[in-house]
Amino acid sequence: MQGSEFVLARSRQILRSAVLFAVALGACEGVCVVAAQAQGKLEAQYTASLAGVTLGKGTWIVDIGDTQYTAAASGSTSGLLKIFTSGQGTGAARGVLSAAGQPMASSYAASVKLDKKTDEVRMSVNGGVVKEFRVEPPVTADPERIPITEAERRGVMDPMTASLVRMPGNGSPMVPEACQRTLSIFDGRMRYDLKMSFKRMENVKADKGYQGPVIVCAVHFAPIAGFIPSRAAIKYLTDLREAESWLAPVAGTRVLVPFRVQVPTPLGLAVLEATHFVSVPQPVRAGVPTKTQ
Q: What's the pLDDT score for residue 99?
A: 64
Q: For residues 213 and 63, which has the higher predicted lDDT (pLDDT)? A: 213
Predicted local confidence at residue 77, as pLDDT = 66
Whether the CA torsion 118, 30, 63, 100 is positive or negative: it is: positive
Q: Cβ-count burial of 203 within 10 angstroms (0-12 exposed, 13-18 middle, 19+ buried)? A: exposed
Burial of 161 (0-12, 13-18, 19+ CB in 10 A): buried
Task: Of 53-57, 112-116, 245-249, give the lowest mean pLDDT range.
Answer: 112-116
pLDDT tens column, 229-240: 999 889 999 999
Is residue 97 a contact partner of residue 33, using CB atoms and an 8 Å limit? yes
Distance CA 83, CA 86 (A): 8
Other Cβ atoms closer than 10 A to 122:
15
pLDDT beyond 50 at 20: no
For 162-204, the pLDDT digits (tens) are 887 878 778 899 999 999 999 999 999 999 999 999 999 999 9
Of 99-103, 129-133, 208-212, 275-279, the range with the lowest mean pLDDT is 99-103
Host H or E run for residue 236:
helix 232-239
> What SS3 class is residue 51?
coil
Decide: 167 and 248 in contact? Cβ < 8 Å. no
Q: What is the DSSP letter of 237?
A: H
* Residue bearing the bigger pLDDT, 142 or 89: 142
Per DSSP, the residues of 81-117 read: HHHH--EEEEEEEEEEE-TTS-EEEEEEEEEEEETTE
How many residues would you count in the chain?
Answer: 293
Burial of 93 (0-12, 13-18, 19+ CB in 10 A): buried
Given this model, what pLDDT does residue 71 score? 84
Cβ atoms 283, 234 nearer than 8 A = no
pLDDT tens, 275-287?
Answer: 999 998 876 554 4
> Which of the 8 DSSP states describes residue 22?
S
pLDDT mean over 133-152: 93
Structure confidence at residue 276 (pLDDT): 96
The mean per-residue pLDDT over the stretch 254-282 comes to 90
Q: Does residue 251 contact residue 64 with C-beta atoms inside 8 Å?
A: no
> Taking the model in full, what pTM does it have?
0.81
- Is residue 227 predicted with pLDDT exceeding 80? yes
- Per-residue pLDDT, averaged over 111-132, amounts to 87
Q: How far is residue 136 CA from its own chain's centroid?
A: 20
CB 51 within 8 A of CB 81: no
Q: What is the pLDDT of residue 165?
A: 82
Please give the Cα distance from 261 to 277 (Å, whole number): 14
What is the share, in percent, of the chain residues with pLDDT greater than 90?
41
